[in-house]
Amino acid sequence: MPSTINDRAPRPWRLLLGAVLALCLAACDTDLYTKQTEADANHMVSALLESGITASKQTPDSGKTWSVKVDEADVVRALAVLRAQGLPQDKHVSLGDMFKKEGLISSPTEERVRFIHGVSQELSETLSQIDGVVTARVHIVLPNNDPMAQEAKPSSASVFVKYRPQANLTALTPAIKNMVARSVEGLSYDNVSVTLVAGAMIAPPPPPAPGGMGLWIAAALALLGLGGAAGVAWKKPEWLPEPLARRLRPGTVASARTAGAADGQANAAQGGGDLGASAGLNGGSPTAAQASAT
């Protein structure tokens, strides 16, 4: 019977495991961005880790899309860090995507618009590969000149580049203008304007709360100590005071008391039998023998 009670009783290690799981779930991660490519997720996780923010990536669909996760307390700062670095990067349309044939015949205007937009996207993508560039935009103007006109309107282009504060792109301005001018037919170097804008400074990580990690460690050690003490008390209840042992293992204490009472009754019966036997040998009654013994 006592073994059955012990098997049904809750184990101390189960209580300890529940407490540890509760501590682990206290700091939950949340999705910062979802449905990203693996390359974009890698860039975002790398930028966050460099800024002192713990981040990870997960895929819910076997690598088709990726999610970036951070701690709930770091969401605001993580968004600020990614925004300052231009992440996730804008998706640029390539020339192949722009000139997809959706119909049998395309008008000259459609072909012209697709060409201009495609070249702009290609140049923006190329400028975005420069170290220190957060985002880049290229706007091209190709006038539709009349072949019969005496003067042709010149082509022009404007370039917008947002860069990180620690990067120095001023020295690259002539190279940027030259690249854009040579990428567009009829565009001269002087008709290319470049606008450089420095991005916002990334705020330094906040200092850790004093004693925050120490409190977690102390709580974990306290739980481990309580679990160990509970296990020892459960296995060795005789080391505890009787009231506490009775509460911990009532079945064992009750069975011990029952066994003690049975031993007492057996001893009393044996004592009565000895008295009756002595009275019979002396020729007296058991009652008289007990009275004389009393």
Task: Assess whether 110 and 165 both reside in one domain.
Answer: yes
Q: What is the pLDDT of residues 65-114, one digit of tens each?
A: 999 999 988 999 999 999 888 888 777 666 667 666 676 677 787 788 88
- Residue 97 and residue 92: Cα distance in Å, rounded? 10
Percent of the chain with pLDDT over 90: 29
Q: Is residue 10 part of a domain?
A: no
- Residue 214 and residue 208: Cα distance in Å, rounded? 11
Q: Is residue 6 part of a domain?
A: no
What H or E segment, with its residue span, contains residue 137? strand 133-141
Task: Assess whether 119 and 141 both reside in one domain.
Answer: yes
Task: Assess whether 179 and 217 both reside in one domain.
Answer: no
Query: Is the predicted pLDDT of residue 55 greater than 70, yes or no?
Result: yes
Provide the whole-model pTM. Answer: 0.51
Q: What is the mean pLDDT of residues 132-156?
A: 85
Query: Which of 198, 232, 257 is the last residue before a domain boundary?
Result: 198
CATH of the domain at 73: 3.30.70.1530
Q: Which domain holds residue 31?
A: 27-84
Q: Is residue 13 part of a domain?
A: no
Q: What is the mean pLDDT of residues 192-205?
A: 81
- Residue 68 and residue 81: Cα distance in Å, rounded? 14
87: how many CB neighbours lie within 10 A of its CB? 21
Task: Assess whether 227 and 194 both reside in one domain.
Answer: no
User: Is 242 within 8 Å of 46 (Cβ atoms)?
Assistant: no
Q: What is the pLDDT of residues 239-271, one digit of tens each?
A: 556 665 566 555 554 454 555 555 555 555 555
pLDDT at 268: 53
Sign for the pseudo-dihedral over CA of 86, 132, 58, 24: negative
Q: Is residue 74 part of a domain?
A: yes
Query: Which of 60, 84, 108 is the last residue before a domain boundary?
Result: 84
How many domains is the chain partitioned into structurally? 3
The helices-and-strands tally (H runs, E runs) of the chain is 11, 6
- Residue 103 and residue 81: Cα distance in Å, rounded? 44
Query: Which of 41, 62, 84 is the last residue before a domain boundary?
Result: 84
CATH of the domain at 178: 3.30.300.30
Q: Is 5 exposed, middle or buried (0-12, 13-18, 19+ CB in 10 A)?
A: middle
Task: Assess whether 66 and 135 both reside in one domain.
Answer: no
Task: Assess whether 110 and 68 both reside in one domain.
Answer: no
User: Is 53 within 8 Å of 77 (Cβ atoms)?
Assistant: yes
Q: Is residue 11 part of a domain?
A: no
Task: Assess whether 117 and 192 both reside in one domain.
Answer: yes
User: How far does the chain reach from its first CA to its final CA, in angstroms?
Assistant: 41
